[in-house]
Chains A and B, each alone.
Chain A
């Protein structure tokens, strides 16, 4: 497939995933739209182009692994998993409801296929990704590990412990992504606790860094392709994104970190996404 055909196909999937996110949240009556929408294109690229995985055999040993360290963005992951064929699309409507496999934050123990590990307490995913990547190396399995973090999340100290370890152990089968949407619950990252300059920090910890527009499919695919070629050190993609991307009234709006749209707002959101 030519590059532009490929990105067109992925952009269309991303548009559908964004619609799913809005529909899921309005039905759940709660959840986190902003970060799910900002990181949506990255997750679509991973599940529908970059990663080797098999929805019919989620435990395939050779699969690439995805760890959603910013667990609250799970509606985007759930929609990707369903669209990839891990479970029926109808199940998306059970998000956050009692008895659902689609917990408020990703749960490994509730049996949803495709969830590698429970996440949601921020800062813990990169260490887990390191461990998986080290284990794959010990077993000489050529699979890769992807770990998506938030730019607010990297205020957690454990991220930097893990950053140090990944570089210490030359974990080059690992690719981190920072969803750099610039906002956290309480305000902008610069107001609350600035992690800037982000790229320089990761470089100082020994990582290869790539800076991209994280809502541009072509740039996302190029970055993941480059990451695969880097040896002896881990790569992190600093993906500049727009929080709430695709929904006019949610874009760059702090208040849409963690609340669901009303039915009326959802109509506007879906209309925005239809015409995008």
Chain B
């Protein structure tokens, strides 16, 4: 049985680890301290923790100001508020000035569950990656989220970290190498390459196992950093397999799959099939029901692989 843990727990642990290493790290929360697991940092370093109230725009600006005197602020709220609600503040105050502010958006994707569309963040990748200077990372499990959080605090400039509410399988170990901007090949394959981020990496690995039984060799690449994107690994996969499937728990328009195809078209315009949310809002339900309803399971990935292989010349 695979161990389950929410990626937000990895975020909280990462904040504490960073706080121990660097006294300049400060954390701000817009009244979602437990939900984002910023509570772990608050407990350990209360003097470096700021409650900002239900005022996300002000939180982003305040973080910008703190960074201007050398602090490394992490802003914590749900992804819907951390990206869409404060997009102009992130654009002008943070990204245009290239300030050293980190944004942790919890409750990414529809696996949030019963809270429904208003609280399911399915647009952050699109909204954040379009901003110059912004880095966007979507870790696959709690261990990787911890590492991503620590590295976000160590690189200079704005970083958006997307993580989730529900427990998800642990598929990496503390020894799995993690470098922002460097994708990880989780499984090698010669017929097709599946690029995934976040919780879809696990689904992709399960899909690859099933495909193997059918005699299809599918590689799985954990493309945790959507920006800056690892072009090299995409070119290599496109060239070697000639077919790509992308999988994201996110709106397809302008999202993760789009980011991958923006790369393939430059050198190897191979056929690509995308698994993701097709121009819909989320809705209430259990995480598992929603994943199925929106077509984000391993079976949907398998279908996409079969489809892309037919298109392959």
Contact = CB atoms under 8 A, between A and B. Distances in A.
Interface of A: 65, 107-109, 116-121, 123-136, 138-139, 141, 157-158, 161-162, 164-165, 168-169
Ordered nearest first, which 10 A-B pairs have the shortest CB separation? A131-B65, A127-B61, A135-B69, A161-B58, A161-B55, A131-B62, A132-B65, A121-B92, A108-B97, A128-B65
Contact of B70 (A126, A134, A135): A135
Given A158-B57, A164-B55, A131 B92 contact: no
A130 B99 CA distance: 15
Interface of B: 26, 48, 50, 52-53, 55, 57-71, 73, 88-89, 91-93, 96-99
B68 A135 contact: yes
B84 to A, nearest CB: 15
Given A109-B96, A135-B71, A157 B66 contact: no
Given A108-B98, A127-B64, A138-B48, 9 more contacts: A108-B97, A109-B98, A121-B88, A127-B58, A128-B64, A128-B68, A133-B65, A139-B69, A165-B62
Nearest to A106: B97
B55 A130 contact: no
B45 to A, nearest CB: 12
Contacts of B73: 131
B88 A134 contact: no
A131 B94 CA distance: 13
A124 B65 contact: no
Given A127-B60, A127-B62, A138 B71 contact: yes
A131 B67 contact: yes
Contacts of A119: 92
A107 B93 CA distance: 10
Nearest to B30: A161
Describe A's contact surface by its main secondary structure. Answer: helix
Given A127-B60, A158-B58, A118 B68 contact: no
Contacts of B89: 124, 127, 158
24 contacts: A108-B97, A108-B98, A109-B97, A109-B98, A117-B64, A118-B93, A118-B97, A124-B88, A127-B60, A128-B93, A129-B65, A130-B65, A131-B61, A131-B66, A132-B65, A134-B66, A135-B68, A135-B69, A135-B70, A158-B89, A162-B62, A165-B53, A165-B62, A169-B50
A107 B68 contact: no
Contacts of B55: 161, 164-165
Nearest to A129: B65
Nearest to B57: A158
B132 to A, nearest CB: 9
Nearest to A169: B50
Contact of A158 (B50, B61, B69, B97): B61
A130 B61 contact: yes
Contacts of B59: 127
B68 A124 contact: no
Contacts of A132: 65-66, 68-69
A131 to B, nearest CB: 2
